[in-house]
Amino acid sequence: MSRGDADAFWFPPGTVFLREKFNRGQETQSKLVLKSFEQIGGLEFDLSCWRTPDGYLLSSIGGASILVSDGGLRITCSGDTEPDAATTMLLWGPVAILALALQGAFCLHASAVALNGKAWVFAGDSGRGKSTLARYLQQERHWKRLADDILPVCASKDGATVLPHFLQLKLPRNEQVGPEVPRRVALAGVLHLESREEGSAEDVTCQRLSRQEALKFLIHQSVATRLMDADLLSEHFIACSNIAMGVPVWSLQFVRQREALPVVASLLESISAENEPIR
Amino acid sequence: MNRDADIESEVRFSPGVLYRNLGDGGILVDTKNGNYFALNRTGAVFLEALTRSGKATSALEDVRQLYPVEDGVLEKDMLDLLADLIDARLLETVKGQR
């Protein structure tokens, strides 16, 4: 058993990485959660995810098997060689997301920025301007960008926080958040970006979603839920419910033009100044 | 319309179905397929009473005490909701207990 280099990757404090040969025969005692072709970080995987008595076992045909156990704090790669590129991508992607989920942090497909020490999350389907808006707010308005694609969120009845140190695969190393950013940042609000192709740059609207709409949206924007078994999905549902109950979620509609971004930014600054999270 | 749903129905959540009251209504999600079902406040009261007792008759009585509307109207609305939830496989009837 040896400690691997994987601990150089971003994972929650206390996570232990091991490389050892383990018996894939334990799949026979396990339940298959997912078997599918997946694209992760530009690579293609014939991925299987099993719920085993010890945790979650992810394996790709011709590649490594990785066991996530001990409540997400122990990650074991099969074999005794250095992780190859495909294994590394599995570690950074679905393994990290599962490990966090087992520790109560569920990932949203979102970008995020911080203003006055609180996080504002931009979620929505691909191509809606999440990254563009976060980059604009950082470069032109001096908000701090916290995430560009995947953002772990912890939620309880007492409030929600985001974990901004999660590795952002879409950003170069020098644009990842630095040590000056706290490991947890209070979540102030979530915005569902609904950009449109035509219209006036001045025509920006922001409408508060009902809690039901917010919950449906948060579930829809969650990442890698297909890897989770019924128990973990239940915890995910409770976490999303807690966010919907305690954090305002808005629908933000704007035209996809650079000229609209200052209007969006001003609106967000005004919401940020007025916003008091509902408890 | 589900023909199994009537006032004597005994029901429970189907496996994999989760429910949460959000204050302004409730929401059910089927974790097997990701389908959602949103309930208004009255529907949430009925569902919660229904899943507490398992029986449509006592759930209807609970709702009647909170929302004093004509008996026939309330019964029809709640049985329609019950049928919709069974059709959506979010609730299942308990076999052999009727």
Q: What mean pLDDT do residues A61-67 have?
A: 83
| Alpha carbon distances (Å) from A33 to A49, A66, A175, A234, B8 | 6, 15, 35, 15, 37
DSSP A149: S
B1 or B9, which is more confident: B9
Distance CA B44, CA B17 (A): 15
Contact between residue A136 and residue A123 where contact means Cβ atoms under 8 Å apart? no
Residue of chain B whose Cα is closest to the Cα of A246? B22
DSSP letters, A32-100, are EEEEEEEEETTEEEEEEEEE-SSEEEEEETTS-EEEEEGGGTEEEESSSS---HHHHHHIIIIIHHHHH
Type of residue at B91: L
ipTM (interface predicted TM): 0.77
User: Hey, are the CB atoms on B38 and A211 less than 8 Å from each other?
Assistant: no
User: Hey, are the CB atoms on A244 and B18 less than 8 Å from each other?
Assistant: no
The alpha-carbon radius of gyration of chain A (Å, integer) is: 19
Tokens (6 digits) for B69: 């509307």
User: Hey, are the CB atoms on A216 and B38 less than 8 Å from each other?
Assistant: yes
| Alpha carbon distances (Å) from A20 to A67, A97, A249 | 10, 22, 44
Contact between residue A182 and residue A156 where contact means Cβ atoms under 8 Å apart? no
| pLDDT bucket at A249, cuts 50 / 70 / 90 | very high
Q: What mean pLDDT do residues B38-63 have?
A: 90
**Contact map slice: B 22-61 vs A, CB within 8 A:** 22-27, 29, 31, 34, 36, 38
User: Does the predicted TM-score (pTM) go above 0.90?
Assistant: no
For the stretch A161-199, pLDDT in tens is 999 999 888 888 889 998 899 999 999 999 999 988 888
Distance CA A74, CA A95 (A): 11
Type of residue at A142: H
